[in-house]
Amino acid sequence: MSDFSFGDSGCVDSGPNVGVVMGSRSDFETMSGALTLLEQLGIAYEVRVLSAHRTPQLLESYAARAERLNFSAIIAGAGGAAHLPGMLAAFTRVPVLGVPVQSKALSGQDSLLSIVQMPAGIPVATFAIGLAGAKNAALFAAALIATTNLTVRERLTAYRAAQTQAVLDEPFFEGH
């Protein structure tokens, strides 16, 4: 299949810590924002294309696998009638971080509302539409891992410090 369907990153600890899933190959450009950050922070992940609509059985077995492997989080991106994050959350207690992918028909409003409006009982943490959401989902997964992993904590702190410094280094700050 595709080069990103079953990929694992080479990262710190043994085995993937985070699952990154998307409803279609067409979501990859958006979800690559999460992959880049996970790599930058040295967090092991695996990537799969799974669909609530097209591969429902695979979705169920993947949720069980995530629990068996004790993933810290699943980042799930989908567009349109985006049931993937909610269905995954229904099948596993692993925290699901939902990324609404920008759809053509409704610019991602449909994706956002179908991910964020979970009825009480099965939560999905929902992020911004598109690339910003994918990046922030990865940073949020890092923050979850950082509660118990000192290495990731230090990397996340350094990432944020570098981001702050980049703003302070802007020439617009001269004379302030």
Which position's Cβ is nearest ligand RP5? 23
Query: Which of residues 114 and 136 has its CB atom nearest to ligand RP5 in the complex?
Result: 114
Q: What are phi and psi of 130, to 5 degrees?
A: 85, -155
Rounded to whole angstroms, how far apart are CA atoms 71 and 59? 15
Query: Which of residues 89 and 101 has its CB atom nearest to ligand RP5 in the complex?
Result: 101
**Cα atoms in the Cβ-side hemisphere of radius 13 Å centred on 136:** 12
If phi > 0 it is left, if psi is from -120 to 50 it is alpha, else beta; for residue 77 that is: beta
Choose among 18, 63, 22, 68: nearest CA to 44.
18
Query: Which of residues 24 and 151 has its CB atom nearest to ligand RP5 in the complex?
Result: 24
**Footprint on this chain of ligand RP5 (rule: CB under 6 A):** 23-24, 26-27, 51, 78-80, 101
Query: Which of residues 83 and 155 has its CB atom nearest to ligand RP5 in the complex?
Result: 83
Minimum distance from CB of 37 to ligand RP5 (Å)?
20
Minimum distance from CB of 105 to ligand RP5 (Å)?
10
Rounded to whole angstroms, how far apart are CA atoms 80 and 40? 29
Binding region for substrate: 24, 27, 54
Minimum distance from CB of 113 to ligand RP5 (Å)?
14
3-class SS at 44? coil
Minimum distance from CB of 77 to ligand RP5 (Å)?
7
